[in-house]
Protein backbone atom coordinates (compact mmCIF):
# COMPACT_ATOMS: atom_id res chain seq x y z
CA UNK A 1 0.00 0.00 0.00
CA UNK A 2 2.84 2.43 -0.68
CA UNK A 3 1.55 5.86 -1.50
CA UNK A 4 3.24 8.53 -3.56
CA UNK A 5 4.79 10.97 -1.14
CA UNK A 6 5.12 14.68 -1.80
CA UNK A 7 8.21 16.50 -0.52
CA UNK A 8 7.70 19.22 2.08
CA UNK A 9 9.98 21.96 3.39
CA UNK A 10 10.75 20.91 6.96
CA UNK A 11 13.74 20.18 9.17
CA UNK A 12 12.26 16.89 10.37
CA UNK A 13 9.76 15.72 7.74
CA UNK A 14 10.90 14.75 4.27
CA UNK A 15 7.58 13.96 2.58
CA UNK A 16 3.90 13.19 3.14
CA UNK A 17 1.53 11.06 1.12
CA UNK A 18 -2.06 9.89 1.18
CA UNK A 19 -3.79 6.69 0.15
CA UNK A 20 -7.35 7.73 -0.64
CA UNK A 21 -8.89 4.25 -0.73
CA UNK A 22 -7.82 3.53 2.85
CA UNK A 23 -7.76 7.11 4.23
CA UNK A 24 -4.17 6.54 5.30
CA UNK A 25 -1.63 9.32 5.74
CA UNK A 26 2.02 8.41 5.30
CA UNK A 27 4.78 10.56 6.78
CA UNK A 28 8.43 10.09 5.90
CA UNK A 29 10.92 11.65 8.28
CA UNK A 30 14.40 12.90 7.41
CA UNK A 31 15.87 10.15 9.60
CA UNK A 32 14.48 7.61 7.11
CA UNK A 33 11.62 6.31 9.24
CA UNK A 34 8.10 6.18 7.80
CA UNK A 35 4.79 6.00 9.61
CA UNK A 36 1.22 5.43 8.46
CA UNK A 37 -1.72 7.07 10.21
CA UNK A 38 -5.20 5.53 9.94
CA UNK A 39 -8.54 7.23 9.30
CA UNK A 40 -7.15 10.60 8.20
CA UNK A 41 -9.43 12.69 5.99
CA UNK A 42 -8.25 13.91 2.62
CA UNK A 43 -8.89 17.50 3.76
CA UNK A 44 -6.59 16.94 6.76
CA UNK A 45 -3.88 15.62 4.40
CA UNK A 46 -4.16 18.73 2.19
CA UNK A 47 -3.93 20.99 5.25
CA UNK A 48 -0.76 19.12 6.25
CA UNK A 49 0.69 19.33 2.74
CA UNK A 50 0.05 23.09 2.57
CA UNK A 51 1.00 24.00 6.13
CA UNK A 52 3.49 26.84 6.63
CA UNK A 53 5.32 24.54 9.04
CA UNK A 54 4.75 20.82 8.38
CA UNK A 55 6.61 19.95 11.60
CA UNK A 56 4.31 22.13 13.71
CA UNK A 57 1.25 20.79 11.89
CA UNK A 58 2.39 17.22 12.58
CA UNK A 59 2.88 17.87 16.29
CA UNK A 60 -0.40 19.74 16.74
CA UNK A 61 -2.71 17.83 14.38
CA UNK A 62 -1.36 14.34 13.71
CA UNK A 63 0.90 13.03 16.48
CA UNK A 64 -1.13 11.36 19.20
CA UNK A 65 -4.43 11.80 17.35
CA UNK A 66 -4.50 8.84 14.94
CA UNK A 67 -3.68 5.16 15.16
CA UNK A 68 -0.30 4.66 13.57
CA UNK A 69 2.22 2.05 12.52
CA UNK A 70 5.84 2.28 11.52
CA UNK A 71 6.47 1.05 7.98
CA UNK A 72 9.07 -1.69 7.71
CA UNK A 73 10.51 -1.25 4.18
CA UNK A 74 11.78 -4.86 4.16
CA UNK A 75 8.29 -6.27 4.78
CA UNK A 76 6.74 -3.83 2.32
CA UNK A 77 9.07 -4.76 -0.54
CA UNK A 78 8.73 -8.45 0.30
CA UNK A 79 4.91 -8.22 0.20
CA UNK A 80 5.07 -6.36 -3.12
CA UNK A 81 7.20 -9.11 -4.65
CA UNK A 82 4.94 -11.88 -3.38
CA UNK A 83 1.54 -10.37 -4.17
CA UNK A 84 1.18 -6.74 -5.29
CA UNK A 85 -2.36 -6.36 -3.93
CA UNK A 86 -1.60 -7.79 -0.50
CA UNK A 87 -1.61 -5.30 2.34
CA UNK A 88 1.24 -5.67 4.81
CA UNK A 89 0.40 -7.19 8.14
CA UNK A 90 0.66 -4.21 10.41
CA UNK A 91 -0.19 -3.73 14.03
CA UNK A 92 -1.78 -0.30 14.44
CA UNK A 93 -0.87 1.52 17.63
CA UNK A 94 -3.30 3.74 19.45
CA UNK A 95 -3.08 7.45 18.76
CA UNK A 96 -3.62 8.32 22.40
CA UNK A 97 -0.70 10.12 23.98
CA UNK A 98 1.73 7.75 25.63
CA UNK A 99 0.51 4.71 23.71
CA UNK A 100 3.15 2.93 21.64
CA UNK A 101 6.20 4.48 20.04
CA UNK A 102 5.63 7.50 17.86
CA UNK A 103 8.17 9.71 16.12
CA UNK A 104 9.26 12.91 17.76
CA UNK A 105 9.99 14.47 14.34
State pLDDT tens for residues 13-62.
Answer: 999 999 999 999 999 999 999 999 999 999 999 999 999 999 999 999 99
Q: What is the pLDDT of residue 88?
A: 42
Q: What is the pLDDT of residue 69?
A: 96
State pLDDT tens for residues 58-77.
Answer: 999 999 999 999 998 777 66
Q: Where are the domains of the chain?
A: 5-82
User: Of all helices (H) and strands (E), which one includes residue 67?
Assistant: none
Residue 27, burial from CB neighbour count under 10 angstroms (0-12, 13-18, 19+): buried
For residue 23, is it left (φ>0), alpha (ψ between -120 and 50) or beta?
left
First to last CA, the chain: 23
pLDDT band (50, 70, 90) for residue 99: very low
- Which pTM was predicted? 0.74
Under DSSP, the state recorded for 87 is P
Q: What is the pLDDT of residue 7?
A: 95
Amino acid sequence: MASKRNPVVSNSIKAVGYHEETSTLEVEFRNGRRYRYADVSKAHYFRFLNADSPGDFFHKNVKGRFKHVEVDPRKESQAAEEEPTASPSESWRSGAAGQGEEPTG
